[in-house]
Amino acid sequence: MPTTICIANQKGGVGKTTTSINLAAALGRAGKQTLLIDMDPQCNATSGLGSRALPNHPLVSEQALRHQAKRTDFSNLSVLPGSHRFRDVDLLANLDDSESERVVQQLQSCTGLFDFVLIDCPPSMGRLTQTALSASDEVLMPIQCEYFAMEGLKQMIGVIRDVMHHRPGKLGFAGILLTMFDDSLELTHEVEAEVREFFGEIVFETVIPRDVMVSEAPGHCRPVINYAPRSRGCRAYMELCMEVLGRE
């Protein structure tokens, strides 16, 4: 059965899109047919894989999603590009219940073609993120190792609980991922200890280090595992991939 993972956090700058791109690429490298769906109007997941944003967002068009997914230059990896078009963004951000259910069904319609579907969400707790959560089997939450990490997590978990209440048994936790981990900073270790104590086993053992190679890779339209295969960031995302596969 295919697994759909929503990568979400209402805070920006926590490594959400970076994780979406690199985990998707790592799953593809591991031999899994993988689709990355870009639901963020910034379309950074689209450009980070060397694709172009579409004139119209696939989720508001009549065409089946499987016909709009684009093969990338990376092993077993396809992307469903996003769109910058303001009208489409506005429509998706203001879905009513019936429209949201249609989008959920549209998202789920293409999952049978892949082993993994990853959804990169906008940095918000709005309707678009809630719809992505409703279409997913699991949610992965990247958090930056900083003072307000726990506050942001608690807010996001409230949204996740609402989705779980409306769709009992559908959505689970893939895990919480610590990003921008700087081993030399005491604050980093304090945040890690607090998150692990509070959330326990749902926190991934893998942490994503601060690594300039991870930051540079999107500028070259490549995942870090292709851009800098010997880097610390590459190793971390491959280890995360193995953890994700081990939890299935």
pLDDT surpassing 70 at residue 180 = yes
Residue 130 is predicted with a pLDDT of 86
pLDDT-wise least confident of 62-76, 91-105, 168-182: 91-105
pLDDT surpassing 90 at residue 67 = no
Domains of the chain: 3-247 (3.40.50.300)
Average pLDDT score, the chain: 88
Residue 36 is predicted with a pLDDT of 96
Residue 33 is predicted with a pLDDT of 96
Residue 19 is predicted with a pLDDT of 97
- pTM, 2 dp: 0.93
Backbone angles phi, psi at 151, to 5 degrees: -60, -45
* Residue ranges with strand state E in the chain: 3-7, 34-38, 70-71, 77-80, 116-120, 138-144, 172-181, 203-209
Residue with the bigger pLDDT between 93 and 176: it is 176
Residue 101 is predicted with a pLDDT of 79
Residue 145 is predicted with a pLDDT of 86
Do the beta carbons of residue 17 and residue 45 sit within 8 Å? yes
Residue 169 is predicted with a pLDDT of 61
- pLDDT over 90 percentage in the chain: 54
Residue in 144, 213, 149, 152 with CA at minimum distance from that of residue 182: 144
Residue 46 is predicted with a pLDDT of 95
Bridge partners of 117, per DSSP, are: 4, 35
